Amino acid sequence: MFKVPPISAERLPGLLRSMPKAELHIHIEGSLEPELIFALAQRNELTLPYASVEALRSAYAFSNLQSFLDIYYAGASVLLHEQDFYDMARAYLGRAARDNVLHAEIFFDPQTHTARGVAMDTVINGLHRACEDARTELGISATLILCFLRHLSEESAFETLEQAQPLLDKIVGVGLDSSELGHPPEKFARIFARCRELGLRLVAHAGEEGPPAYIWSALDVLKVERIDHGVQAVHDAALMQRLAQDRIALTVCPLSNQKLCVFPNLADHNLGKLLDAGLAATVNSDDPAYFGGYINENFTQVFAATGLTAKHAYQLAFNSFEASFAGNADKRVWEHKLKETFERCVEHDY
Ligand code: ADE
Ligand code: ZN
Mean pLDDT of 129-134: 98
C-alpha dihedral (208, 296, 3, 341), degrees to nearest 10: 150
250 lies in some domain: yes
State which ligand 1 atom lies nearest to the alpha carbon of 208: 7
209 occurs within a structural domain: yes
Q: What is the mean pLDDT of residues 191-211?
A: 98
Does some domain include residue 6?
A: no
Pairing of strands 280-283, 226-229: unpaired
Domain assignment of residue 128, yes or no = yes
How many C-beta atoms surround the C-beta of residue 94 within 10 A? 14
> What sign results for the dihedral spanned by CA atoms 51, 72, 157, 175?
positive
Once rounded to an integer, what is the mean pLDDT over residues 27-51?
A: 97
331: containing domain: 12-347
CA 43 / ligand 2 centre spacing (Å): 28
Domain-located, residue 322: yes
Res. 229: pLDDT tops 90: yes
Report, as residue numbers or ranges, the catalytic residues: 208
Of 28-42, 80-94, 336-350, the range with the lowest mean pLDDT is 336-350
Question: What confidence category does residue 350 fall into, taking pLDDT thresholds of 50, 70 and 90?
Answer: very low
For ligand 1, pick from 23, 62, 205 the residue to mutate: most ligand atoms within 8 Å of CB. Answer: 205
Rounded to the nearest 10 degrees, what angle do helices 328-347 and 310-322 cross at? 160
Confidence of residue 5 (pLDDT cuts 50, 70, 90): confident
Q: Is pLDDT above 70 for 199? A: yes
Q: What is the pLDDT of residues 234-268, one digit of tens each?
A: 999 999 999 999 999 999 999 999 999 999 999 99
Asked if pLDDT for residue 331 goes beyond 60, the answer is yes
Rg for the chain (alpha carbons), in Å? 19
Q: pLDDT for 56-115, tens place per residue? A: 999 999 999 999 999 999 999 999 999 999 999 999 999 999 999 999 999 999 999 999
- The region of weakest confidence among 5-19, 84-98, 244-258, 291-305 is 5-19
Residue 86's domain is classified under what CATH number? Answer: 3.20.20.140
pTM, to two decimals: 0.98
* Pocket lining: 208 vs ligand 1, CB cutoff 6 Å: yes
Give nearest CA residue, ligand 1 atom 1: 178
Residue 293 included in any domain? yes
Task: Kindly state the average pLDDT of the residues 3-15.
Answer: 92
Inform me whether the pLDDT recorded for 6 exceeds 90: no
With a pLDDT cut of 70, the percent of the chain lying above it is: 99
**7 found inside a domain:** no
Q: How far is the CA of 82 from the centre of ligand 2 (A)?
A: 23
Residues in the chain: 350
What is the tally of structural domains in the chain? 1
Q: Is 256 in the pocket of ligand 1 (CB under 6 A)?
A: yes
**Mean pLDDT, range 279-290, rounded to an integer:** 98
Q: What is the mean pLDDT of the chain?
A: 97
> CA-to-CA distance for 86 and 207, rounded, in angstroms?
31
pLDDT attached to residue 2? 87
**pLDDT tier at 125 (50, 70, 90 boundaries)?**
very high
Whether 54 is in a domain gets the answer yes
Mapping DSSP onto H, E and C, the string for the chain reads CCCCCCCCCCCHHHHHHHCCEEEEEEEHHHHCCHHHHHHHHHHCCCCCCCCCHHHHHHCCCCCCHHHHHHHHHHHHHHCCCHHHHHHHHHHHHHHHHHCCEEEEEEEECHHHHHCCCCCHHHHHHHHHHHHHHHHHHHCCEEEEEEEEECCCCHHHHHHHHHHHHHHHHHCCEEEEECCCCCCCHHHHHHHHHHHHHCCCEEEEEECCCCCHHHHHHHHHCCCCCEEEECHHHHHCHHHHHHHHHCCCEEEECHHHHHHCCCCCCHHHCCHHHHHHCCCEEEECCECHHHHCCCHHHHHHHHHHHHCCCHHHHHHHHHHHHHCCCCCHHHHHHHHHHHHHHHHHHHHCCC
- pLDDT (mean) for 310-322: 98
Q: Is 231 in the pocket of ligand 1 (CB under 6 A)?
A: no
The pLDDT value recorded for residue 348 is: 67
